[in-house]
Chains A and B, each alone.
Chain A
Amino acid sequence: MVRSRMRPLWRLLPLFLALVLVACGGAPQTGAPPAAPSPAAPEPTSAPAADAPTVAPEPTSAAPATEPLRVAIVGDEGTLTPYTYQTGYPGWNMLNLVYDTLLILDADNLPQPWLAERHTISDDGLIHTLTLRDDVTWHDGRPLTSADVKFSYEFYKANRQSRWTPPMGVITTIEAPDATTVVMTLASPSPAFALQPLADVPIIPQHIWEGATDPKAVESTVGSGPYQLAEYVPEQFYRFTANASYFAGAPSVPEIITPMISEPNTIFAALRSGEIDATVRSLPPELVSDFEGNAELALQKGPGYATNLLQFNTERAPWDKAAVRQAISRAINRQQLIDTILLGQGTVGNPGWFHPASPVYQLTDAPAFDLAAAQAILDEAGYADGDGDGVREADGTPLSGELLVYANNPIRLRSAELIAAGLEPLGVRLKVTAIDPDSVDAKVWPEFDVAKGRDFDLAMWNWSAPVQINPLRAVGLVHSDPTIGTLNIGGFKNAEADRIGDAWRVTVDEAEQRALAGELEALIAAELPFVTLFYEDGNYAFRPTAYDGWIYQKGQGTFSKLSFLSALRP
């Protein structure tokens, strides 16, 4: 019976190998930085006129480097034009090496003059006048004038597939009466106008972009910034060369190469072995002590603004009851989360949302972790465990549900597990459900449009730094009107929150803005549409021998113009 042996055998492999190879296939997470669908630039709180300090070109004092500086990024950002870059971080940062904005954010995220030497606002807040520098040229030598500024803004308004467009909705007309003056008229006062769009929108050259019918197809990266994009090899790297005739002085590093490494372990292994000199990725907590002890490496530390929170679906029972949300917030030990999961590299979340380092942070009496107090809140509300199954009921609805979390994010996964375990004694039972990011998004924020509703109980969520940098964006988290509350993924409806939000959006006076921010903060801390858990600290490791001039921009990291221009050093 030999022949029969052969048949099974040569039939054997077709799928055996298929399986092995398929099984060997697969890849871990794409490792995108914590930018949850939010980003974008902040709206400034106020922008009184500021006289530009004279920014005379200074000769670079740093020793001329012979080797290019290698800074690893995490993914491909396309052709890196304002219409094709991918991520807020580090895509926008790299974009800002090549292009300039009218104002610039300093290390404390306060707007400073840049292309615009002076910025004045009329008393009614409706007319913004900008006086441009006269010594700025594009990389191809032509001068940058007000015509370019007017063109840029109008182009973004007309071609809406960019993230620069929404904040411009408030601009009605733009005039360029002479080569160095731009006058913008707004429909209503915009408190954060200096932050966004003025410090956010890259100015593009009219002589190149004029007449472009498909903005995404434009490949030219001619800008006015300190670096030119010299080379782009898809999936591999970008190469930037210094613009020696930059108006703010030649940048301190002549050449920067940004290799794309998607895998976090590989990035830090490469950093340790010296294959790269720095990276845009913050060091994971478990590597901090190791890297600190390494003589060849140094760390830039600072507060991180990305915010981790527990999001409620406030339209669904029992999470629509404020008492339930408050009790849950009291029962979560945030410090323990930070100590256990972040190894101490984090800041306790402010129940009122704003990061403690934010200029509008005012809450002083945040309630501490207290399980007994949480129990008391629920007892007082009458939400007891009626049927002895360990789970309380609120008006008939058991305090149990699904906690959605991205399966590819270990910090959030661990947080979810610990929170669920910590809430058991309270009589709240959460089932941690980990699925791929897009599927979670589809349930929590279908099509990224809050008007489309939601289908979840609770979710581990994260808003990236820009939402903190511009304090006004907090309104977007709680306003009930979908066109204003674009980040209100919990469906929160509160008339007082709407009132504060509406008022803040048109207030130009700084003191008034701060007061309104304080009111909103107190409301969020009381009503808790979400529970702010913690903010991860930023730890940016680098090799000092390659380059030592990194400047930490609060909440944003070190890869920006600030680190390469001596004019911007504090």
Chain B
Amino acid sequence: MLRLLLARAAQYLLVIWAAVTLNFLLPRLMPGSPIGLLAGEEVGQLTAEERAELLAEVGLDAPLPVQYARYLGSLIRGDFGYSYQRNQPVTEVILQRLPWTLLLSGTSLVLATVIAVTLGAAAAWRHGSRGDLTLVSVSLVLDALPSFWIGMLLIAIFAVELPLFPSFGAVTAGGRYEGWAYVRDVGRHMFLPLVTLTLTNLSATLLTTRSAMLSVLGAEYIVTARAKGLRERTVLFRHAFRNALPPIATLVGLNLAFTIGGATVVETVFSYPGLGRLTYDAVLQRDYPVLQGAFLLTTLVVVAANLLLDLVYPLLDPRIRRGAL
């Protein structure tokens, strides 16, 4: 078992290294160069020497392998570089956005999971009934709707037509709220994006839960349990649900992994200062250090989540311990 985990860890390290390399290469493969970012607006007026100077300052003049070696070296030292656009260390830039991403996406994850698992289990239990089919259909429809579409409708209705909620930002800009008033301000700003995000993430979890429960419910040991005369509730929770946990856990684990990536579309529509939007801007502007930093973070979190899942599965289902992962 330990050997297996070690082998797995080694494999994951390989994945991280491959992802890091890819993250290094991919931005540089994109046409266009960050010289516009580095030089600012008057870039057209610079002489050749001035451009070379600017590029040299951030090490972009070196041949690719040298840049790569430097990049790896700086990673090991924990130095993630400076954002070309913001002249701030990448770590600072990311840390500024991280709390908001965690707040919005994290809350949404918890909410969506709780609601979806509950409803999914209920749907499976009443499989074939009207309620089940309605739930499935609604889930599928929700899944089909683009999140930006939902977000903007919400703004149009609840922020413009009926000015109940603010339409942008994480807090009132320049507002100086303290304590409870601050919490309330954050909450008001978070409400619409939270609803949008939760709605879009609900269906997958719901359908998976339902699916997992369904297949489990058809199992022989369930029939046995019922034949034994156990109460329905016991059957549902102790046997069915527990055995359906692995796929649900996988899903939650993956949702967790992607919480860090942030919900780019929703963040954009609501101008919410999260990581997803940061990444997208960095892509469009060729801000390599920020891009690399953000994706490294995502990679690490995904791999960590996977490792965690690998550790947790055997606890959930002893059959899996046999190692055919």
Contact = CB atoms under 8 A, between A and B. Distances in A.
A143 B102 CA distance: 47
B46 A235 contact: no
Given A84-B87, A441-B32, A40 B45 contact: yes
Contact of A273 (B159, B273, B285, B319): B159
Q: Pick the most buried of B53, B168, B284: most chain A CB atoms within 10 A of its CB.
A: B168
Contact of B271 (A21, A87, A217, A266): A266
Q: Pick the most buried of B30, B166, B174, B216: most chain A CB atoms within 10 A of its CB.
A: B174
A327 interface: no
Given A27-B280, A448-B36, A13 B254 contact: yes
A38 B44 contact: yes
Contacts of B208: 9, 12-13, 16
B319 to A, nearest CB: 7
A272 B247 contact: no
B187 interface: no
Interface in A22-43: 22, 24-30, 35, 37-40
18 contacts: A2-B219, A5-B219, A6-B317, A13-B251, A17-B254, A17-B258, A18-B258, A24-B263, A78-B87, A160-B53, A217-B87, A236-B169, A260-B271, A273-B163, A439-B30, A447-B33, A448-B44, A476-B44
B215 interface: yes
Interface in B26-52: 30-33, 35-36, 38-48, 50-51
A147 to B, nearest CB: 26
Interface in B79-93: 85-88, 93
Interface stretch (A161-169, A517-525, A542-550): A161-169
Given A17-B254, A20-B204, A269-B155, A40 B166 contact: no
Contacts of A25: 261-265, 276
A436 B284 contact: yes
Contact of A18 (B169, B171, B254, B263): B254
Nearest to A76: B86
A24 B250 contact: no
B160 to A, nearest CB: 5
A17 B255 contact: yes
A319 interface: no
B178 interface: no
B167 A275 contact: yes
Interface residues of B, number: 87
Contacts of A9: 208, 211-212, 215, 247
Q: Pick the most buried of A2, A261, A437: most chain B CB atoms within 10 A of its CB.
A: A2
B239 interface: no
A284 B46 CA distance: 33
A47 to B, nearest CB: 21
Nearest to A15: B254
B284 A437 contact: yes
Given A9-B247, A13-B208, A442-B33, A30 B284 contact: yes
Contacts of B170: 236
Given A24-B147, A447-B51, A483-B47, A12 B219 contact: no
A383 to B, nearest CB: 33
B270 interface: yes
Contacts of A86: 40-41, 85
A30 B277 CA distance: 9
Interface of B: 30-33, 35-36, 38-48, 50-51, 53-54, 85-88, 93, 96-97, 143, 146-148, 152, 155-156, 159-160, 163, 166-171, 173-174, 200-201, 204-205, 208, 211-212, 215-216, 218-220, 243, 246-247, 250-251, 254-255, 258, 261-271, 273, 276-277, 280-281, 284-286, 317, 319
Interface in A284-341: none
A38 B54 contact: no
Nearest to A487: B44
Given A24-B265, A269-B167, A273-B159, A10 B250 contact: yes
Q: Pick the most buried of B30, B51, B87, B219: most chain A CB atoms within 10 A of its CB.
A: B87
Contact of B216 (A6, A27, A87, A236): A6
Contacts of A417: none
A88 B258 CA distance: 36
Contacts of A261: 168-169, 271
A17 B264 CA distance: 15
A270 B40 CA distance: 29
Interface residues of A, number: 85
Contacts of A16: 204, 208, 251
B134 to A, nearest CB: 21
A88 B41 CA distance: 6
Interface in A236-295: 236-237, 239, 257-263, 265-266, 269-270, 272-275
A221 B247 CA distance: 55
Given A3-B319, A262-B271, A443-B31, A166 B45 contact: yes
A382 interface: no
B247 A275 contact: no
A234 B147 CA distance: 26
Contacts of A2: 215, 218-220
A449 interface: yes
A273 B167 contact: yes
A438 interface: yes
A235 B97 contact: yes
B268 A262 contact: yes
Contact of B276 (A27, A165, A236): A27
Contacts, number: 240
Q: Pick the most buried of A14, A22, A85, A216: most chain B CB atoms within 10 A of its CB.
A: A14
B143 A39 contact: no
A3 B322 CA distance: 14
Contact of B250 (A14, A161, A163, A262): A14
B80 to A, nearest CB: 17
A21 B42 contact: no
B268 A27 contact: yes
A462 interface: no
B36 A259 contact: no
A228 to B, nearest CB: 14
A438 B269 contact: no
A567 B247 CA distance: 70
Given A257-B173, A273-B167, A438-B32, A163 B40 contact: yes
A175 interface: no
Contacts of B87: 78-79, 84, 216-217
A163 B48 CA distance: 15
Given A9-B247, A24-B147, A24-B265, A449 B48 contact: yes
Given A257-B173, A270-B168, A438 B284 contact: yes
Nearest to B271: A261
Contacts of A26: 264-265, 280
Nearest to A450: B44
Contact of A163 (B41, B147, B156, B269): B41
Contacts of B218: 2, 5
A448 B43 contact: yes
Contact of A12 (B41, B155, B211, B317): B211
B247 A10 contact: yes
Contacts of A447: 33, 35, 51
B307 to A, nearest CB: 13
B48 A451 contact: yes
Given A9-B212, A26-B265, A273-B167, A166 B42 contact: yes
B32 A12 contact: no
Given A6-B215, A235-B97, A272-B160, A70 B51 contact: no
A37 B38 CA distance: 12
